[in-house]
Amino acid sequence: MLVVFVAPFFSPAATQMIEAALALPHIRLAVIAQQPLDQLPRHLAGRLVGHWHVADVTDAAQLAWAVQGLSAAHGAVARCFAAYEQSQLPLAIVREQLGIPGLPSSAANNFRDKARMKDVLRAAGIPVARHQLVGQPGDARRFVADVGFPIVVKPPAGAGAKATERITDANALEDALQRYRPTVDDPMLAEEFLRGTEHSLETVTINGKARLALAHAAMRPRHSKSSRIRGFSGPSCCRAKSTIRVLRRHQAHRRQGPRGTRHDDRRVALRMVPASRWIGGHQ
């Protein structure tokens, strides 16, 4: 089976994914990247069946050209995937164009467009922060009049905290509007600022069904006694090496003492739980 992995650079995370994919049985792995192959460690580069250099892994046309080129040289591509969030939508478009199974573009767009993502979650009954797509300055001012300060502004297609700002007063808002200069075609996203404990949920999904869930909570040191990792269940194929490394790192951190690992004074608690407990709306 020919599998193509897409990454902008051979970062430590991308290198780990390449190594993990190469360890899977019956997989022939090719890579599309913005870096030449000599930037990948030799012990991995020598095991790839192909490499295609592109200028931009977020350009669907370049990705299609690369996938078609690898297919012509090495056979039909069975799967094509990436970890880089900005590549998810163009890669989904390419899979649909070439008839390669994988996440559809509609689903990719549901999490790449953060305003759309919140609408989808709210429609499913999941509470989310109030938000507003800002296509002109008046939109932002009306939103603030409704929810009050502080608010958060960012690009609708941002990843992580990229270009994200906390706006605390009217002067800061006007300054952000001058810098962003939002338009209907290029809006910015304004969100209600919420205070509380940060949680996240990661799932391993196979054929549309969640098989494994990783629950994550950032806690203050005074709550550290409740930090715990529960055993997790699911098919053995889901118990990836990367997950085991996460658990081991957390366990090592707990042995080190009270020092935090976050940018502030919070600590991290992880729980591995059966996905069914979360997907059905139960914790």
On the 0-12 / 13-18 / 19+ scale of CB atoms within 10 A, 107 is: middle
Distance CA 250, CA 224 (A): 12
Domains of the chain: 2-111 (3.40.50.20), 114-192 (3.30.1490.20), 198-279 (no CATH)
Query: Can you tell me the mean pLDDT for 274-283?
Result: 46
Provide the whole-model pTM: 0.70
What is the tens place of the pLDDT at every residue in 148-159? Answer: 999 999 988 765
Tokens of 251: 């366990």
pLDDT for 37 equals 97
Give the end-to-end CA distance of the chain in Å, rounded to a whole number.
38
Query: DSSP 3-state assignment of 97?
Result: helix
What is the tens place of the pLDDT at every residue in 107-132? Answer: 999 988 988 999 999 999 999 999 99
